[in-house]
C-alpha cells in the first residue's frame, strides 16, 4: 500500500480510509441503518447499499447522551466528546495492519459508560497499536439510554444489545475485506460494554459470531429483571407525560429524551427477589429474565474461550473523585450494602473481619466493587469453567494510579490504557487524570496489551486456565503473579 488513501469494498458499498506508516483506519463505517424517528425503538436493520465511495476518513456522530463527569477526575479520554449530533451513528471504526495478510485475528470492542454515555470515538480506544501488532480492531457505537435500553411495550427489548449483535454480523460479513478472519473474532468490552459482552455470551443469537470473549470489569449478574426495568419505564413516562409505549416515545425528540435522564437517577430498584445490580449508579442495564451467569451455567457460551477479570480497587472510582474515600462513615458502608443485600449489617461485619485494618472508605469501596463487578465476574467464571472442554482465564489488574493524591489506585477503568497500549496519551496524564502524574510503566502496557492479543490469537493469554472455585488467576501489576482463585469475600448468596 503506497497511496495515503485506501478504498475497501464492503457488502454495502465502498469505503475510503486513511493509511499511516503501519496501519489503515476507517472511521464511522455504518453497520446498520440510522436509528431515526420510530426506528430508534426498533431492532437494527442492515444499512442500505450506497453509491460511490463513502468517506471514512473522519470521526462520525455519536449516540444521544448527556455530558458525563466524575467529580475532580478528568475523564474526557474515556467518555469522549459527548453527543456529536447526526443520524448515522450506528457505526464501527476499523483499524487494520498496513501489511496484513488475509486471516488476521479480529477484536471487537464495546465501550463502557453506564449504558448512558461514551462512544467509539473516545481517544482511549485508539486501535492503532492493535493494528501495528497484527490485529484488525473494530470499535462499536450502540444506542444508549432510553433508545438503547428502556423497556417499552411495542419495542424489542435491549436494543443496544441488538446493535452489538448486528455489528458482529457486519463483522462476519465484511471483515475479510479488511484482512481479518471472520472465524477468529474476539468480543471484548469494559464496564457496561463488558456486561453487554456477558449478555452476548449468554444469547443464542450470538452462536457462531464470536470465538472468544474478554470481560473487563463487567457483571455476569448485572441484568435488571423486567420488574426493575418497569419502574424505570414508568418514571420516564411520567416525566414525559406520555403512555409507556414505544409509539408514544417515538414522537419525543432525542433532545427531550436526553433532558429527562438526570431525573431517572435514584430510583429504588430493589424488589422482593432482587437487589439493584448497579446499586443506583445507572437506571439502565440489559433486561433479562435470567442472569447471564445462570444461562452460562446451563451451557450457553461454553465453546467460547473466556478471559475475565476485575481491578483490585474498582470502587475507588466512585468515591475518590468526590472526596468520599476519606470521609465515608460506617453508616455509609451499611447504606451501600443495603442497596444489594437483604442483611447489610451482617454482610458488612463479614467484610470487616476480612479487612481488620480497613477504613470505612476502603470497606465501602470494596463493597461497591463486590456488588458491581467482582461477585458477578466470579460467578460467570465459575459457570463457564464448570463445563468440560471450556477454557476460562481470570485476572486481577492491580497497578495503582497515583492520581488524586494516590487515592485513585487500581480503580475501575485504570486497566484500559494498558490494554490499548496508549498510556502515553497526554489526556491520561496529570494529577487529576486517570493515570496520574509521572510516567506509567511502559513495560506493563506492553505486556498487558500482548496478553490480550495472545488470547485473541490463540485462546491463551499466557497463564494457566482457571478452574471453578480454584486457582490460578493472574495478578497484573508491575510484577505479574499467579495467585489462587480464592473467594476473598462472602458469596452474595451467603446467609
pTM of this structure: 0.96
Active site residue 432: no
Q: Is residue 165 part of a domain?
A: yes
Q: Is residue 491 part of a domain?
A: no
Domain count, the chain: 1
State the first-to-last Cα distance of the chain, in angstroms, to the nearest integer: 63
- Please name the helix (run of DSSP H) or strand (run of DSSP E) that holds residue 366, with its range, or none: helix 360-369
Q: Is residue 494 part of a domain?
A: no
Going by C-beta distance under 8 Å and a sequence separation of 6 or more, which residues neighbour residue 242?
248, 249, 251, 252
pLDDT of the residue at 491: 45
| Residue of 119, 191, 365, 390 marked catalytic | 191
Distance from CA of residue 76 to its chain's centroid? Answer: 16
pLDDT of the residue at 455: 98
C-alpha grid cell, residue 166: 448486528
Active site residue 387: no
Q: What is the CATH number of the domain that holds 214?
A: 3.40.50.1820
Write out the chain's pLDDT in tens, 495 residues: 345 569 999 999 999 999 998 899 999 999 999 999 999 999 999 999 999 999 999 999 999 999 989 999 999 999 998 999 999 999 999 999 987 578 999 999 999 999 999 999 999 999 999 999 999 999 999 999 999 999 999 999 999 999 999 999 999 999 999 999 999 999 999 999 999 999 999 999 999 999 999 999 999 999 999 999 999 999 999 999 999 999 999 999 999 999 999 999 889 999 988 889 999 999 999 999 999 999 999 999 999 999 999 999 999 999 999 999 999 999 999 999 998 888 889 989 988 888 888 899 999 999 999 999 999 999 999 999 999 999 999 999 999 999 999 999 999 999 999 999 999 999 999 999 999 999 999 999 999 999 999 999 999 999 999 987 777 899 999 999 999 875 545 544 433
Q: Is residue 488 part of a domain?
A: no
pLDDT of the residue at 290: 96
pLDDT of the residue at 342: 86
Q: Are 113 and 192 in contact (CB under 8 A)?
A: yes
Q: Is residue 349 part of a domain?
A: yes
| Residue of 217, 412, 449, 489 marked catalytic | 412
Q: Are 137 and 90 in contact (CB under 8 A)?
A: no
Q: Is residue 343 part of a domain?
A: yes
Q: Is residue 202 part of a domain?
A: yes
Q: What share of the chain is helix, strand, coil (3-state, %, to 5)?
A: 35, 20, 50
Active site residue 350: no
Query: Which residue segment(s) compose the domain that 192 sits in?
Result: 5-483
pLDDT of the residue at 103: 93
- Dihedral sign from CA coordinates of 288, 293, 297, 299: positive
- Return the bridge partners of 476, or none: 397
pLDDT of the residue at 357: 86
Q: Is residue 492 part of a domain?
A: no
pLDDT of the residue at 3: 54
Judged by phi (left if over 0) then psi (alpha if -120 to 50, else beta), residue 299 lies in left
DSSP string, 159-224: HHHHHHHHHHHHHHHHGGGGTEEEEEEEEEEETHHHHHHHHHHH-GGGTTT-SEEEEES--TT-PB
In angstroms and rounded to an integer, the radius of gyration of the C-alpha atoms of the chain is 21
Q: Are 105 and 457 in contact (CB under 8 A)?
A: yes
Work out the angle between the directed axes of helices 192-202 and 159-174 (0-180°, nearest 10): 70
- How far apart CA 225 and CA 42 sit, in angstroms, is 21
| Residue of 74, 88, 313, 314 marked catalytic | 314
Amino acid at each position: 500500500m503506497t497511496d495515503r488513501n485506501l478504498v475497501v469494498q464492503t457488502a454495502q458499498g465502498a469505503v475510503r480510509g486513511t493509511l499511516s506508516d503501519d496501519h489503515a483506519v476507517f472511521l464511522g463505517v455504518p453497520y446498520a441503518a440510522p436509528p431515526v424517528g420510530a426506528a430508534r425503538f426498533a431492532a437494527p436493520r442492515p444499512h442500505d447499499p450506497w453509491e460511490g465511495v463513502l468517506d471514512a476518513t473522519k470521526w462520525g456522530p455519536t449516540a444521544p447522551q448527556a455530558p458525563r463527569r466524575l467529580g475532580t477526575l478528568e475523564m474526557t479520554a474515556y467518555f469522549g466528546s459527548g453527543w456529536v449530533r447526526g443520524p448515522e451513528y450506528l457505526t464501527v471504526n476499523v483499524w487494520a495492519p498496513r501489511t496484513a495478510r488475509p486471516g488476521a485475528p479480529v477484536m471487537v470492542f464495546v465501550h463502557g459508560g453506564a449504558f448512558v454515555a461514551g462512544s467509539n470515538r473516545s481517544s482511549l480506544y485508539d486501535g492503532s497499536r492493535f493494528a501495528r501488532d497484527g490485529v484488525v480492531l473494530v470499535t462499536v457505537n450502540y444506542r444508549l439510554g432510553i433508545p438503547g435500553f428502556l423497556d417499552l411495550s411495542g419495542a424489542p427489548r435491549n436494543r443496544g444489545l441488538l446493535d452489538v449483535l448486528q455489528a458482529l454480523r457486519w463483522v462476519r460479513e465484511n471483515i475479510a475485506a479488511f484482512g481479518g478472519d471472520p472465524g477468529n473474532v474476539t468480543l471484548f468490552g469494559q464496564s457496561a460494554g463488558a456486561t453487554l459482552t456477558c449478555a452476548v455470551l449468554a444469547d443464542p443469537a450470538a452462536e457462531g459470531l464470536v470465538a472468544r470473549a474478554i470481560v473487563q470489569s463487567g457483571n455476569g449478574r448485572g441484568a435488571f429483571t423486567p420488574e426493575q426495568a418497569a419502574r424505570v419505564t414508568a418514571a420516564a413516562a411520567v416525566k414525559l407525560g406520555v403512555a409507556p409505549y414505544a409509539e408514544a416515545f417515538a414522537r419525543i425528540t432525542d433532545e427531550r429524551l436526553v433532558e429527562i435522564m438526570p431525573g431517572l437517577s435514584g430510583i429504588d430498584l430493589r424488589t422482593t427477589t432482587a437487589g439493584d445490580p448497579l446499586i443506583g449508579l445507572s437506571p439502565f442495564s440489559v433486561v433479562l429474565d435470567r442472569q447471564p451467569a445462570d444461562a452460562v451455567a446451563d451451557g450457553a457460551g461454553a465453546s467460547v474461550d473466556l478471559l475475565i477479570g476485575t481491578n483490585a480497587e474498582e470502587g475507588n472510582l466512585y468515591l475518590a473523585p468526590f472526596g468520599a474515600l476519606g470521609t465515608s462513615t460506617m453508616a455509609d458502608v451499611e447504606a451501600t450494602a443495603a442497596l444489594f443485600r437483604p442483611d447489610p449489617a451482617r454482610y458488612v461485619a463479614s467484610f470487616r473481619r476480612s479487612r481488620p485494618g480497613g477504613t470505612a472508605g476502603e470497606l465501602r469501596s470494596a463493597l461497591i466493587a463486590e456488588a458491581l463487578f467482582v461477585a458477578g465476574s466470579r460467578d460467570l467464571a465459575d459457570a463457564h469453567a464448570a463445563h468440560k472442554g471450556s477454557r476460562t482465564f481470570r485476572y486481577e489488574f492491580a497497578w495503582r494510579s497515583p492520581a488524586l493524591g494516590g487515592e485513585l489506585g487500581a480503580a475501575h477503568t485504570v486497566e484500559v490504557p494498558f490494554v490499548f497500549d496508549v498510556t502515553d496519551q497526554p489526556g491520561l496524564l496529570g494529577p487529576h487524570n486517570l493515570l496520574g502524574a509521572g510516567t506509567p510503566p511502559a513495560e506493563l502496557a506492553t505486556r498487558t496489551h500482548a496478553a490480550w492479543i495472545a488470547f485473541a490469537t490463540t485462546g491463551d493469554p499466557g497463564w494457566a486456565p482457571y478452574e471453578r472455585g480454584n486457582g490460578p488467576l493472574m495478578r497484573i501489576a508491575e510484577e505479574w503473579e499467579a495467585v489462587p482463585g480464592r473467594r476473598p469475600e462472602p458469596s452474595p448468596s451467603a446467609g
